[in-house]
Structure 1
Amino acid sequence: MPEAAGHPKMLPRLAEIEKDLILRRSRAEEEQWLGEIEGIDMTLTFVRTKQADAARTAQRAPIALGIPTTRRPE
Structure 2
Amino acid sequence: MHVRCAMLRVDPHERPRLDEIRVNLIARIAEAEHEGWLGEVDGLSVSLAAAEDKLAQLDAEAARRSTVVHLSLPTFSQIATRPTEPS
TM-score in terms of structure 2 length: 0.61
Q: How many residues get paired?
A: 60
- In structure 1, the residue matched to 2:20 is 16
Q: What is the Cα deviation at residue 13 of structure 1?
A: 1.0
Structure number with higher relative contact order (C-alpha < 8 Å, ≥ 6 residues apart): 1
Q: CA RMSD in A?
A: 1.8
Identity %: 37
When Rg is computed on C-alpha atoms for both structures, the one with the higher figure is: 2
Tell me, which stretches of 5 or more residues in structure 2 are unaligned?
1-6, 67-87
- In structure 1, the residue matched to 2:57 is 53
Structure that is richer in helix per residue: 1
Q: 1:49 to 1:6 in 2, by over 3 A?
A: same
- In structure 2, the residue matched to 1:65 is none
Distance 1:52 1:7 in 2: 13
